[in-house]
Amino acid sequence: MYNPLSPHACEFIDNGEVLESLEEASRESTNPQRVKAILEKGALRKGLTHREAAILLECKDPRLEERMYSLAREIKMHFYGNRIVLFAPLYLSNYCINGCVYCPYHAKNRTIPRKKLSQQEIEEEVRALIRSGHKRLALEAGEDPRNNPLDYILESIKTIYSVREGGNSIRRVNVNIAATDVQSYRKLRAAGIGTYILFQETYDMQRYRLLHPTGPKSNYEWHTEAMDRAQEGGCDDVGIGVLFGLGGYRYELVSLLMHAEHLEARFGVGPHTISVPRICPADDIDTGDFPDALPDDIFRKLVAVLRIAVPYTGMIISTRESVRMREQLLDVGISQISGGSRTSVGGYTTAERHNETAQFDVADTRPLDEVVGWLLDNRHIPSFCTACYREGRTGDRFMSLCKSGKISLCCTPNALMTLKEYLMDYASGDTLTKGNALILECLHDIPEGRVRDLTVKRLSEIERGSRDFRF
Ligand code: SF4
Ligand code: SF4
């Protein structure tokens, strides 16, 4: 029985409710009045229900689809302005006892070399990341209580935060590790993590069981209820996501939104971020085995519908996507991207390791400076901001600021100041010129005179060597 307030996965992601939503979508999506009414509701920027979002996704009227894309653009600009937050993944270990059939780190893959970074190696990787300009990391590790116990993760977080390189440091570590218990989430929170990220992979229980035949992750309920335990353990910024292509995309979109509604209903705060990776080739993995792999046009529409349905939630894509696809998705709602990424253990310091131990193929292989230059060319402000978490604006504090539309008053000046730091410390000549020009232009977009004046003052101070200002 569907119950968004229930702590049980089978009730907040109730299969019957998902199927009824899809049936309603197939009926109502050909009714232009209904679709228009949903778009009008979306324009109020307060979000949509999973049933309404399913109808939009199913609607194939080209004029209404165009309206979906333009509305998604408007909503993104309203809440976040034109800043795009940049981060990099840091793979600590590819030891894993799970059997996820779509991931080359699965326990039965004997061809991939296994590697776990020592604290010394983590320090070296972090130095390389700081030298490229990064301030925000997403820490990744397989599930293996013997090789990657929680204490190893906690020690690694401490190491990452302790590294200083050329006066700079990593300011925010988000963590993407296996579902765990409340006590462990408490320890992660105490270690100062930013967002706790865990992808559902697929919400379709039958597909889930087929694709996760062995290991602790094979327990659908344990995995799906992880964000509830994370919240109970004090991790109030959580990031959810689906690996699109594992199951039917309609089913996944509806369930993903039901998960967001559940977190909002039970904890008063929806997910901080939603990630939308798609299945892609990797060692030992053939995408031909996944008939639900998502075509580009549907993927773009799905991102736009999500943007309208959850206007306050950050949306993330990785370097799995090509430059062309990233441009299209940034346009319709993505607010955070990885850049200059290595999806392997030790890949930032050892190129050979990248080829040997990559979790998936990277389509966008450009170094960070090129990514920054490309964002500038497309009139996005590349942002290295980490301010909210460091100012204690997490969980419901962050959400209330976001819902009121006031967060962009922080996002734009913070983006400009962190971009300026990047330009001063790491940019190539061409990026420096383009970046300084965009900063001048975008200062006018700061509506409050006091904030604008203070930003101008701080930008000059950054030029003179000061660092780490934030609103
Ligand atoms: Fe392990 Fe994660 Fe890969 Fe599954 S997806 S095999 S849990 S690293
Ligand atoms: Fe993110 Fe907050 Fe910075 Fe905006 S001000 S970019 S929401 S950390």
DSSP characters over 324-342: HHHHHHHHTT--EEE-S--
Question: Which of 414, 419, 455, 471 best tests ligand 2's pocket when mutated (most atoms within 8 Å of CB)?
Answer: 414
- The ligand 2 atom at the shortest distance from the C-alpha of residue 389 is 8
Nearest to 317 by CA among 327, 130, 308: 327
| Rounded distance from Cα 313 to ligand 2 centre (Å) | 12
CB-based contact 190:200 (threshold 8 Å): no
Nearest-ligand number for the alpha carbon of 246: 1
Token reading at 405: 């539309």
Atom of ligand 1 nearest to the CA of 215: 7
- Exposed / middle / buried, residue 186 (Cβ in 10 Å: 0-12, 13-18, 19+): middle
Rounded CA-CA distance 461/455 in Å is: 10
Ligand nearest to the CA of 237: 2
* Res 288: pLDDT: 72
pLDDT at 285: 64
* CA–centroid distance, residue 96 to ligand 1 (Å): 6
DSSP string, 418-470: HHHHHHHHT--HHHHHHHHHHHHHHGGG---HHHHHHHHHHHHHHHTT-----
| Best residue among 93, 95, 96 to mutate for probing ligand 1, ranked by most atoms within 8 Å of CB | 96
pTM over 0.75: yes
Distances (CA, A) of 94 to 116, 200, 214, 311, 346: 7, 19, 17, 34, 10
Residue 220 near ligand 1, beta carbon < 6 Å: no
Q: How far is the C-alpha of 339 from the C-alpha of 352, rounded, in Å?
A: 19
The span from the CA of 400 to the CA of 411, in Å, is: 15
Ligand 2 binding pocket (C-beta < 6 A) is: 85, 383, 385-388, 407, 410-411, 414
Separation of alpha carbons 415 and 135, rounded Å: 12
**Quick one: CA dihedral 161, 425, 375, 442, positive or negative?**
positive
pLDDT of residue 417: 98
- Whether 112 lines ligand 1, by a CB cut-off of 6 Å, is no
pLDDT tens digits, 216-252: 999 999 999 999 999 999 999 999 999 999 999 999 9
Cβ of 306 less than 6 Å from ligand 1: no
Confidence (pLDDT) at 219: 98
Burial (CB count <10 Å: 0-12, 13-18, 19+), residue 379: exposed
Tell me: the pLDDT tens digits for 304-318?
Answer: 999 999 999 999 998
Residues 440 and 413: their CA atoms lie apart, in Å, by 12
Which ligand ends up closest to the CA of 174? Answer: 2
What pLDDT does 346 receive? 95
Nearest CA to ligand 2 atom 6: 411
Could you report how far apart the first and last alpha carbons of the chain are, in Å? 45
Phi, psi (deg, nearest 5) at residue 143: -95, 115
Structure tokens at 396: 């419901």
Question: What's the CA dihedral at 453, 458, 461, 465 to 10 degrees?
Answer: -160
Q: Which residues of the chain are modeled with pLDDT < 50? A: none
Q: Dihedral of CA 49/52/58/64: which sign?
A: negative
Query: For residue 152, how far is its CA from the centre of ligand 2 (angstroms)?
Result: 29
